[in-house]
Amino acid sequence: MMVVRNYSKPTTSVPTPGLWRRFVRRPQQMWLRKAIFQIHLWTGILVGLYIIAIGISGSILVFKEELFPRPRIDVGTVDTRACTPESLAAVVRNVELAYPDKEVYLTACPSVFNPLYLTTVRAKPKSPATKAGAATGAAASDTEWRVIREPLAVYSHPHTAAVLGAADREGSWVSWMEDLHVNLLMGREGRWWNGVGAAILLALTLTGLVLWWPGIRSWKRGFLVSFRHSWKRINFDLHNVTGFWTILFTLTWALTGMYFTWPKLFTEPVRMISPIVTANYPAEEIKRISQRPITPPAPLDVNAVLRRAQQLSPDGALEGYFYGGGKRPVFTVYMARGDMGDYANTDFLYFDQHTGEHLLTWHRGKNQTLGDWLIWLVVPLHFGTSWGLAVQWLWFLFGLVLPFLTITGFLMYWNRYLSKRWRALRNASPTPTDPR
């Protein structure tokens, strides 16, 4: 008998669908999606309160300058680009007369956020004789001195230069909110933890994108909310749909939040694509001018320096100035090329505070390369204060999406698990025994 062998490869009658095909058609049945769901769920539970705090504080800080305490009076129409060295000098002179025991070290011209002149003052340094006398006193005198040196914000009229009043910006609830958002009320260490929180938000966003897809047969559920179902289903759809339509915002805030903690994580890859020329703070140049020879202390002709700054920055409008400190103090002048008060488009001019010599100019926002644009965009995209009032309101509203997603996520967890556990515990509780 002849045996005929079949050497052809066996074939299966029903081909196993690929991973992508299964994800498109029936994602709920994939073990990988179930694993991602557990990661998304427990990560959200662990950092839920953090995300609520960051979202609410971030939305409030979009209007930080408008919310800071200041005199609320009608000053009429204000030309924010009409600030001159002479008008700023008049404001400073009136402030010095009103606060003779203090020194001016920071000024700001009227801006789109604040129509008043803002002058920051602090107590004058003690003379050597006074310091020697204080050194022999109790430790409480040092504490008192630190309190006295706390800065005070003084506001002046934009047309008359008259002093209108003062406010403690540093001690206001807005500053507390800013410290919460930036440092988590933990100082410099809080910034590192904020970076970790931003990385977790990035993970939540990416895993949420995977979980968002409902399958090809129910694809409309991923884009629209139907209010014809129970509140549990509506809550689920709101979480799912809102997360999808706002994913660009959450990705942006997560990535920019990580940048503020670990900038090299982003600048090094960007440099591989394009050089960064003007976007970064000129730390090396500032370090270099801080090591220049010490010049003898001398009164600074502020008006002359401001006029020199106007010549060096012809496209800018005078925005304010800042007195430096130390053995080699640097006097910084701000010249706005964009909106007043939006320092994303500003020339920072650095001068020797003793001689008035121009040392360096940083043209922030005058981007020359693709790398400049990518790095420069980090701050405007995170804070939303560089493109007008409409964008500010948009960033405010979308910032509240983070706590909204967290709350709806908690409700989903309650509906799916906690409520059942709660009912089971109540039903399992022992009933009172009959005393008979």
Q: Can you give the pLDDT at residue 384?
A: 93
Tokens of 198: 């931003």
Q: Among 145-159, 333-347, 381-395, which stretch is predicted with the lowest mean pLDDT?
A: 145-159
User: pLDDT-derived band of residue 150, with 50, 70 and 90 as boundaries?
Assistant: confident
3 state SS for 306-324: HHHHHHHCCCCEEEEEECC
In this predicted structure, the answer to whether residue 3 has a pLDDT above a threshold of 50 is no
Q: Report pLDDT digits (tens) over 272-290.
A: 999 999 999 999 999 999 9
Which pLDDT band, with edges at 50, 70 and 90, does 202 fall under? very high
Reported as a single tens digit per residue, the pLDDT across 320-371 is 999 999 999 999 999 999 999 999 999 999 999 999 999 999 999 999 999 9
pTM of the model: 0.84
Q: Where are the domains of the chain?
A: 69-133+140-171
pLDDT tens by residue, 207-236: 999 999 988 888 888 899 989 889 999 999
Label residue 115 by pLDDT band (50, 70, 90). Answer: very high
DSSP letter for each residue of 4-69 = PP--SPP--SSPPPPHHHHHHH-GGG-HHHHHHHHHHHHHHHHHHHHHHHHHHHHHHHTTHHHHS-
Q: Read off the pLDDT of each residue in 144-171 and give the average, rounded to a whole number.
A: 83
Q: Check: CATH 3.30.420 for 69-133+140-171?
A: no
Q: What is the spatial distance between Cα 160 and Cα 138, in angstroms, rounded to a whole number?
A: 45
Q: Which residue has the higher pLDDT, 24 or 240?
A: 240
Answer for the pair 34, 42: CB distance below 8 angstroms, yes or no.
no
Q: What's the pLDDT tens digit per position in 19-45?
A: 777 777 778 778 888 899 999 999 999
State how beta strands 358-364 and 102-108 pair.
unpaired
pLDDT in tens, 127-145: 544 433 433 333 333 443 3
Buried b vs exposed e over 97-118: b needs ≥16 C-beta within 10 Å? ebbeebebebbbbbbbbbbbbb
Given the structure tokens 């920019």, which residue do they identify? 256
Which pLDDT band holds residue 82 (cuts at 50, 70, 90)?
Answer: very high
Which residue is listed with tokens 């500053």? 175
